[in-house]
Structure 1
Amino acid sequence: MSKMEVYTSDSSDTDSREQKTLDYGRMNLTEITLEDDLHAKKALKTHKDFETLLLNHNRLRLLPSALIKFTNLKVLDLSSNCLTQLPEAICNLSLVTLIAKNNNLTNKSLPKTFVMRNSVLKELNLSGNQLTHFPEQVVELKQLRYFYAGANKINAISKDIWKMQSLQVLSLGGNLITDVPEAVGRLSQLQALVLCDNLIENLPTSIAHLDSLKSLLLHKNRLRHLPKDIIALKNLTELSLRDNPLVVRFVQDIALKPPTLMEVAARVVKCTGIPYGPGIVPRTVSDYLQSANCCVNPKCKGVFFDNRVEHIKFVDFCGKYRVPLLQYLCSSKCIEPEPERPQTSGSASGYMMRKVLLG
C-alpha cells in the first residue's frame, strides 16, 4: 500500500528532489497504518536519505514515532489531517519548512519551542487551526521568514513580534484581531502583511516604517480611516481596503454639535495671542490651553480642542493609488476643494482607486 517515490537514473535537479521525497499524500492513512509502513524496511531506503516528507490530506490524529528517524528532513507537510498535537519530538528534526495548516491544533497542542535541531526554521504554516492567541514560541524564531496563521481565532498580535527581524511575510487574515501593536512597524524586512477579515479599527502610525512592504491587505475590517503616515510606504504595490467603513465614507462626516463655551473661549485666547500662564489663569485652564491642536489646513491658523471636524480627503499614494485619509479640522469652512485631476490620467486613476477600495 506504500506510495514510494520513483527512482530514475537521470541526474537532473527534478529527479534528485524526487529521490529525496517521500509522498504519502492523499492516501487516507491513519497513524497506525502509516507507522507500520514507515517501519517496513522494504518500503524505505534509509530514513536519512529523505529531505521531504508529505503526509497531507490523510486522517492522522497523531504523528508516528518513526518520524524522528528522518534525521535529515527539511520539509514536512502535515496539512489537512486531524492532528490535535504536535509533539516536542518534532523539534529534534532539522526542518526548514513545517506546514501544519488545516488541522485541529490549539495553543496547548504546540510544542514549547519551534527551534529545530541543527537547522533554522524559515517557514511555519499554522493556518486553519484552533489557535486563540498568537503563539509566543514563534517569536523566538529570529530567522523565520514566512509565518502563516490565518483562519484561526487569534485575538491579538504579540507585542514582542519585533524580535522576528527576518520576517518577510506575516499572514494573519481571518482571525479576531482588534488591534495592531506598534511593534509591527519594527519588522524591517516585511514585504507582505495580511490582516484581512479581522476586527481592526485602527492602524498604528508605525506601519509607515515598513520600508520593504509591497503588499498590505486590510479588506473586511472595521477601518474608518488610515493614518496619514501610510503615505511613506513608497514600495507598496498592492493595497486592499474593500469592505471597510471608510470605503463608503467618501462624503464629509461633520459633527454638528456646537463647541462648549470653554472651547470657544480657549480658541479665542489661542488665536488672538492673549497671554496666559501661572498667576493669570488656573493651572487646569492653562493645561487645557496647552492641549490645543492646530488645524491641518495650511491656510488656516485656527486650533481645536475637543470639538473638531472630521473630513475624508483623497490623497495620491505612491503615484499609483488615491486613498482616503482622515483629516481633523477646526471648522467645516477649512475643507479645501479637491483639485481637478488631468483628464489624461483620470481613467487610470479611477481604475486604481476601484482596485484599492473595492478589490
Structure 2
Amino acid sequence: MDNYTSDSSDSDNPTKTLDFSYLSLDSDALKERLGSIKDPESVETILLHQNQLNHAPGNITKFTNLHLLDLSNCGLSELPDFLSDCPLTTLVAKNNNLSNDSLPKTFEAFSTLRELNLSGNRLTEFPEQVLQLTALRYLYLGGNGISRITKDIWKLQRLQILSMGGNSLTDVPSTLGQLTTLHALILCDNMLESLPGSIANLKNLKSLLLHKNRLKTLPTEIITLSCLTELSLRDNPLVVRFVSDMTHDPPSLLELAARVIKINNIHYGKEDLPKNLTDYLNSGHCCVNPNCKGVFFNNRIEHIKFVDFCGKYRVPLLQYLCSSKCIDPRSNDDKIDSNGVMMRKVLLG
C-alpha cells in the first residue's frame, strides 16, 4: 500500500506527499516502492530520510511534478545528475557522506531550485557549482569542513538565508556584503577572528549568528544594520573580555547603608557624621533609569546603550545603573532605533 497523504481537497487532482521515512529501506526496496505508485504526476513531495540508500533510485524521475525531495540521513555518497529531471524547488540531502567530488559537476539543469540543504556532509570546499543556482533563496552548508567562502558568493543575488555554521572558516570575503537580500547569516562555530566592514551593506539582515568563533572585535559599521533583531556573540574573546570587565561585585555594607540614607531622604549634617562619611554620602550618583529612584556610590552596573546620532547613526553609550534589574527591555528606549525597529535578542552568554 502506498504511504502518502493528500495535500488537496480536490478529489479530481489531489497532490500527494510520499512518506517513506524511518523504514530502513535499501535502494532496491525503495525503487520497488516508487515503481508501484500509479499516479506519479500527482506527487509533489517525497520524504526519504533515515533509510539505508547507497544510491538514489533512478525511477525518482517518473515524478514529473516533484518539488520537494528529502534524502537526509540515508548514507548517500553521491548526489546523481538525474535529479535535475524533476522540477525540484527544494532538495534536502543533509547528514550524508557527500563530498565535493560526489556532487553533480554542474547545477545548471537545477534551474528551479530555491532551497538546497547539504549540511552535515563531508564538503571541504564551497561547491562552486552552487553559484549557477541564481534563483536560490536558501542555502545550508553547515556542519561540513569548508575552510573558505568563495569570493564569487555575490552571484547568488536572491539569497535570503546563508547557513555556514560548524565549518572551518577563518575569514569572510568582503563580497558577502553584496548579498543585500540576506535576512539571516549563520557563521557560528567557526574560526573567524574578524568580519569585513562590508557586512554593513546587508540592510535587510535580521539575524546574525556569530557565537563560538575567535572574534576579538566587530566592525564599527555593524551598528548601521537597522533591521537586525538577533545578534549572537557568546563564546567569543570579545564577549569573554566584555563580561569579565562588567563583573558586578556585591555592594559593601557602607554602600548599602548610604543607599538607604539617600533613598529615604534621611537628613544628615556635619554634626551627625565624620567628614569622610559626609563626603561619601555627597558623592552619590542617581541611577540613569528614569523609572528607578536608586543611587550608587562605588558599586555600579555598566550598561551599553545604543543611541541615535543626528538621526542617522547608532553609537554606543556607556551608562551606569544602580542594579542589573534596572535594565528593563520593556522601558529602555535603547532598543529602538530611528525606524522603530527593536533589537529583541543580543545573546552575549
1:211-247 Cα distance to aligned partner (Å, 9 max, x none): 0000000000000010100011000000000000001
TM-score, normalised to structure 2's length? Answer: 0.72
Residue matched to 1:48: 41
Matches within 5 A, 1:170-181: 170-181=162-173
d(CA) in 2 for partners of 1:46, 1:137: 33
**Which of 28, 34, 51 pairs up with 2:30?**
34
Distance 1:6 1:355, change over 3 A: closer
Q: What is the CA–CA distance in structure 1 between the aligned matches of 2:7 and 2:208, rounded to whole Å?
A: 44
- Please say if residues 308 and 315 of structure 2, whose CA atoms lie closer than 8 Å, have aligned partners that are also in contact: no
Partner SS for 1:51: strand
SS at match of 1:89: helix
What's the offset of the Cα at 1:198?
Answer: 0.4
Change beyond 3 A, Cα 1:346–1:59: same
Taking the TM superposition and a 5 Å limit, the aligned residue runs for 1:76-115 are: 76-115=69-108
For residue 58 of structure 1, what is the aligned residue in structure 2? 51
Per-residue Cα deviation, 1:105-139 (whole angstroms, up to 9, x for no partner): 0001100122346x521000000101001110111
Contact 2:307 2:315 in 1 (8 A): no
* Aligned CA distance change for structure 1 residues 69 and 233 (closer, same or farther; 3 Å): same
Q: Which amino acid aligns with 1:47?
A: P
Q: Is the 8 A contact 1:143 1:166 kept in 2?
A: yes
Q: Which amino acid in 2 is paired with 1:193?
A: L
Q: Distance in 2 between matches of 1:239 and 1:317?
A: 17
**Partner residue of 2:213?**
221
SS at match of 2:91: strand
Shift of 1:61: 1.4
For residues 52 and 137 of structure 1, do their structure 2 counterparts lie closer, same or farther at Cα, with a shift above 3 Å needed?
same
Query: Residue in 2 aligned with 1:138?
Result: 130
What is the identity, as a one-letter code, of the residue corresponding to 1:78?
L
Given that 2:128 and 2:150 are in contact with CA atoms closer than 8 Å, whether structure 1 keeps it comes out as yes
How far apart in 2 are the matches of 1:23 and 1:98?
Answer: 15
**1:94·1:116 contact (CA, 8 Å) conserved in 2?**
no
Say whether 1:236 aligns with 2:228: yes
How many residues are paired up?
A: 277
Cα distance in 2, alignment partners of residues 177 and 207 from structure 1: 16
**Aligned partners of 1:209, 1:131: CA distance in 2, in Å?**
29
Find the residue that maps to 1:177 and give its secondary structure.
Answer: coil
Q: 1:226 to 1:9 in 2, by over 3 A?
A: closer
Q: Which moved more, 1:218-227 or 1:30-39?
A: 30-39
Q: Is the 8 Å Cα contact of residues 182 and 205 (structure 1) preserved in structure 2?
A: yes
| Cα offsets for 1:46-90 (capped at 9, x unmatched) | 322211111111011101111122222111110111000011111
- 2:7 and 2:137 map into 1 onto residues whose CA distance is 34
The answer to whether the 8 A contact 1:172-1:196 is kept is yes
List per-residue Cα deviations over 1:26-64 (Å, max 9, x = no partner).
11100011112222xxx3123222111111110111011
Q: Which runs of 5 or more structure 2 residues have no equivalent in the other structure?
A: 246-302, 336-342
Among candidates 330, 347, 358, match of residue 328 of structure 2? 347
The answer to whether the 8 A contact 2:138-2:159 is kept is yes
Q: Which residue pairs with 2:174 in the alignment? A: 182
SS at match of 2:200: helix
What displacement does 1:187 show?
0.2
The one-letter amino acid paired with 1:35 is K
- 1:225–1:324 Cα contact (<8 Å) kept: no
1:33 alignment partner AA: A
Match of 1:66, SS state, is helix
How far apart are 1:10 and its partner, in Å? 4.0
Cα gap change, 1:345/1:147 in structure 2, threshold over 3 Å: closer, same or farther?
same
Q: Distance in 2 between matches of 1:191 and 1:145?
A: 10
Relative to 1, partners in 2 of residues 1:188 and 1:30: Cα closer, same or farther, differing over 3 Å?
same
Q: Which residue of 2 aligns with 1:294?
A: none
Q: 1:202 to 1:30 in 2, by over 3 A?
A: same
Higher helix share: 1
C-alpha contact (below 8 Å) 1:115/1:121 kept by paired residues: no
Could you say if the C-alpha distance between residues 217 and 316 of structure 1 is closer, same or farther in structure 2, counting changes exceeding 3 Å? same
